[in-house]
Structure 1
Amino acid sequence: MAKLFVICGHGAGDPGCCAGGYTEAERVRALGRRIRALGGSEVELGDMSRNWYADGGINRLDTDAPVVELHMDASGIATAHGAHVIIKSGFEPDDYDKALADKLSAFMPGRAEKIVRHSELANVNRAAARGINYRLCENGFIDNDGDREKFNSNIDELARIYLESFGIKVTTSAPVQQTPLKQPAKQATVIESFGGRYRCTVFRLNVRSAPSLSGSVVASYGRGQTVVLDDWYKSADGYIWGRYTGGSGKVRYIAVGRATGKPEADDYLVKE
């Protein structure tokens, strides 16, 4: 019987956070595969072709094993770095949470808190409502060069942290993991082509202080107005968010369109 069920965040057209020629969805799937390869039959790897957030998969998940959902963070701030564990607000961390938080923060330090509580994250709430032993882990910041390099170069060490935290022995039959190319050409092309001048296609499009619907509205664009976005983008709350630096010198975020994995005719911002 499996001792750990692993969910890889984003996917199915949703890249998650993107930086340095990599996407969050691809990287956490690489980690998920290594956890499964090194952990053998004691690890069950959830269907990686799905987006477990978008399709509500936890609402139908049938497992008695503790669950971990893998993610990487992004902030747009080069100095932000480190890993941590997220659990449901009002819950106390169990032994799995504590072990995982201690090991992850030692492997990839930088967060003010090793364990944080959230009440607004869909899968955190879905798991809590069903009594599933669940935590979400941010494995560093994909837009921090140090975190990204540590993740890529030491992915088996990171995978072993998960296995050790859940009392799983490493199998000796797993093939050696090869270090990925630092700049996968296909993904880098996507990221490099994202930046540029965009035209607003809707009556009113909010500008926010953070790349999510929870960010404060600080300005807006109207139909026909243009904005120049840089090459960074992030998927959150079902949307792809672009970024630019305003006249005040502050970084601002704006929803480009729905997170479908490609430009759409009904996007809120269309590249000129």
Structure 2
Amino acid sequence: MGRIFISAGHGAGDPGSSGGGTTEAQQMILLRNQIVPILKTRGYEVLSVPDDLNLVSTIQWINKRYRRGDVALEIHADSFGNPNVRGTSIFYIAGNEERKKHAQDILLTLLRRVPQLKNRGAKPDTEAGVGRLGFCRNVIAPSLLMEVAFMSNSQDRSLLINNRREIAEAIVDGLANWSFQVSGTKPKPPKPDPKPDPDPKPDPLPEPEPKPGPYPEINIEINTKAYQEKGILINGNAYIPVDLVDQLGVDLTKDPDIRLVQYQSIVYVKAIELRDYNVSVNWNADTDTVLLSTILEICPGQIDRIMSHGNTTEVQLELFLKSNNENALKDFPDLPKIYREEAEIEGVNYDIAFCQMCIETGFLSFGGDVKPFQNNFAGLGAIGGGAQGASFPSARIGARAQIQHLKAYASLQPLVQALVDPRFRFVTRGIAPLISQLSGRWAADLSYGDKIMATLRRLYESAGLL
């Protein structure tokens, strides 16, 4: 029988998000403490991750104890600037259709039991803020990360506190079903405590862990051509020979977190990891083929350069925006057109500027300190604590100010249009030509650039460019 790992997110003293006088860490520990005994009474072996571990240590702790048939779930509570945003979502490793189904099943099990929660969907980890989730990617066991509710929403917070037992039982139902799908076995009914043995025997030695495999072979296609070697499928994830990675021009030695697997004297790497190196990764379920493409309609070397050209059409920008907020264009119907026109005038990549706007405004849902009527799409002058920042007379001028601010960071060239950015003079010109260099500069968030880059990749994937 497979075991179940359960982790309450934000350990090692990190409180996570907060609201209503409580924190994410506190609520997830309380929820975890309800889940674990229910699982045990149903006969499951549960491994609860210690609360003093950070993410890296959590992953190491699980991987050290992993056995085939195990599953792992980490529970979190989300937060957003708009207090009206609420609901439950669950993340799985991108490109794994089996894991997607598991995630959907667990989410629907919870929502059937607690219908007051809003369904925000099962999502690939590429849709998370920074474009990948370590818990989904680096845990060896099949793993999922659930955002149970929003700490920033009073209704969700009330459900977490007042319906904790009900939520826990629903999650247990989902975990039980998932464990059976992965391991193929169900726990035996727990036996009553035996009477003391007057002549106790020593504990038997644990059974040796079976060797890894056999793993099913999969086909590999590169730039629409079949590749001679085969890959393997591990826990629903496509792995390809590491020799192939070298041929694709990808250097994995710079990423110590990349997990390599040796099987039958061949070293493999998880295919989805190549996505971070501008390799398009897809899956054809009909032919069991992982599809890799390095022939892209965008220039990989320019993808993160602020002073470069955009690659999408206005329609593609509109569709991407509406797929994340169906009401996004209600107040700003011409915004994709405006961004393209204004950015091209200054030589700024309009895709980057547009994705930054999506991050700053929550895909035009706003809800933070900056309000829609301000036409401030990049938080210019907003420093938190209720400070609303700058206001602009129109959407076009607001977008122009943001683009000028980006140009200030990325270039020494003079502006083409008259200055409208009120904070242009405070920037050291040309100090941040790359998206990643905006972190800690445009915003205090050290993951700020990663979030823009993750959104940019999602945009290009939705447009079929990556």
What TM-score do the two structures reach when normalised by structure 2?
0.37
Query: Given residue 57 of structure 1, which amino acid in structure 2 is its aligned partner?
Result: T
In structure 2, the residue matched to 1:50 is: 53
Query: Given residue 156 of structure 1, which amino acid in structure 2 is its aligned partner?
Result: R
Aligned counterpart in structure 1 of residue 145 of structure 2, from 101, 126, 136: 136
In structure 2, the residue matched to 1:99 is: 105
**How far apart in 2 are the matches of 1:246 and 1:220?**
4
Query: Given residue 68 of structure 1, which amino acid in structure 2 is its aligned partner?
Result: L
Q: How big is the shift at 1:125?
A: 1.7
Number of aligned residues? 195
Tell me whether 1:209 sits opposite 2:360 in the alignment: yes
Preserved CA contact (<8 Å) 1:66 1:133 = yes
Indicate how the Cα distance of structure 1 residues 20 and 156 shifts in structure 2: closer, same or farther if over 3 A, else same.
same
Unaligned runs of 5+ in 2: 127-131, 178-186, 191-356, 363-376, 393-397, 399-441, 448-466
Query: Given residue 58 of structure 1, which amino acid in structure 2 is its aligned partner?
Result: I
Structure 1 segment 176-215 matched on structure 2, within 5 A = 209=360
**How far apart in 1 are the matches of 2:155 and 2:103?**
24
Tell me whether 1:109 sits opposite 2:117 in the alignment: yes
Query: Given residue 97 of structure 1, which amino acid in structure 2 is its aligned partner?
Result: A
Q: Identify the structure with the greater strand proportion.
A: 1
Indicate how the Cα distance of structure 1 residues 30 and 2 shifts in structure 2: closer, same or farther if over 3 A, else same.
farther
Q: How big is the shift at 1:165?
A: 1.1
Unaligned runs of 5+ in 1: 172-206, 222-226, 231-243, 259-272
Q: How big is the shift at 1:63?
A: 2.1
Deviations along 1:225-245, one digit per CA (max 9) or x if unpaired, are xx4525xxxxxxxxxxxxx53
Q: What is the SS of the residue equivalent to 2:138?
A: helix
Aligned counterpart in structure 1 of residue 385 of structure 2, from 209, 229, 239: 229
In structure 1, the residue matched to 2:22 is: 22
Preserved CA contact (<8 Å) 1:82 1:147 = yes
In structure 2, the residue matched to 1:177 is: none
Q: How big is the shift at 1:49?
A: 1.9
In structure 2, the residue matched to 1:32 is: 32
Larger radius of gyration between Structure 1 and Structure 2 = 2
**How far apart in 2 are the matches of 1:68 and 1:114?**
16
Indicate how the Cα distance of structure 1 residues 154 and 228 shifts in structure 2: closer, same or farther if over 3 A, else same.
closer
Q: What is the SS of the residue equivalent to 1:114?
A: strand
Q: What is the SS of the residue equivalent to 1:255?
A: coil
Pairwise CA RMSD: 3.6
In structure 1, the residue matched to 2:299 is: none
Preserved CA contact (<8 Å) 2:7 2:48 = yes
In structure 1, the residue matched to 2:135 is: 123
Q: How big is the shift at 1:4?
A: 1.5
What TM-score do the two structures reach when normalised by structure 1?
0.61
Q: Which has the higher contact order (CA 8 A, sep 6+)?
A: 1
- Percent identity (aligned): 21
Tell me whether 1:10 sits opposite 2:10 in the alignment: yes
Preserved CA contact (<8 Å) 1:3 1:166 = no
Q: Identify the structure with the greater helix proportion.
A: 2
Preserved CA contact (<8 Å) 1:99 1:165 = yes
Deviations along 1:93-130, one digit per CA (max 9) or x if unpaired, are 4454232110233424334x420011322222212xx3
**How far apart in 2 are the matches of 1:63 and 1:79?**
39
